[in-house]
């Protein structure tokens, strides 16, 4: 095996093991998104956040099933993400939208990382994908905000880059 092949093999193994790594939670830190805060309707595929009043699609776009284990997380440019949300009629509702950055950050479980989200409520959530919000950067019109659920941090990125999407309804 030549050095390029060895490097590609190593990266493939590294990425495969990273995608199956276990979530890490700090037991001494109080949960910011505990199970008790949510009402899960697994059959419908929705989650009601009783603290914010928002209804979330349980699976990221591209995933399906009661435990979100079918399919793979789809990625979209920011414009495609906004269109995807506006055109959704999931679970009989037609008012799905992309969450603003504050709403999306409300899903971050501060005591956990890799991913920083409640996996009981949002099963099979991946830490490998950042998730778009509807919030654009006020200073730079070609950027929009996202949450990276590996750490739970918020950043902004170019709107033509691709990111995952988790739909929400209600609020605002």
Residue with tokens 């409520």, as numbered in its chain: 121
Q: Which SS3 state, helix, strand or coil, does residue 104 take?
A: helix
Cα–Cα separations (whole angstroms), residue 22 to 18, 109, 127, 159: 9, 15, 10, 30
Report pLDDT digits (tens) over 48-106.
999 999 999 999 999 999 999 999 999 999 999 999 999 999 999 999 999 999 999 99
Query: In the CATH hierarchy, which top-level class contains the domain 25-169?
Result: alpha beta
42 three-state secondary structure:
coil
Residue-level pLDDT at 18: 42
Question: Where do the domains of the chain lie?
Answer: 25-169
Give the pLDDT of residue 129.
81
Contacts of 18 (CB under 8 A, 6+ apart): 128
What's the whole-model pTM score?
Answer: 0.86
């Amino acid at each position: 095996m030549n050095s390029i092949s060895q490097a590609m093999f190593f990266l493939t193994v590294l990425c495969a093991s990273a995608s199956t790594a276990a979530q890490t939670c700090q037991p001494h830190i109080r949960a910011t998104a505990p199970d008790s805060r949510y009402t899960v309707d697994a059959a419908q595929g929705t989650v009601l956040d009783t603290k914010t009043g928002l209804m979330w699609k349980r699976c990221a776009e591209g995933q399906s099933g009661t435990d979100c284990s079918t399919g793979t997380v789809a990625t979209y440019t920011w414009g495609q993400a906004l269109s995807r949300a506006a055109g959704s009629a999931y679970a009989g509702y037609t008012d799905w939208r992309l969450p603003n950055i504050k709403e999306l950050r409300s899903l971050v479980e501060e005591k956990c990382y890799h991913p920083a989200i409640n996996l009981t409520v949002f099963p099979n959530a991946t830490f490998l994908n950042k998730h778009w919000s509807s919030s654009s950067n006020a200073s730079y019109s070609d950027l929009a905000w996202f949450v990276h659920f590996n750490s739970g941090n918020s950043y902004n990125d170019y709107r033509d880059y691709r990111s995952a999407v988790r739909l929400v309804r209600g609020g605002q």
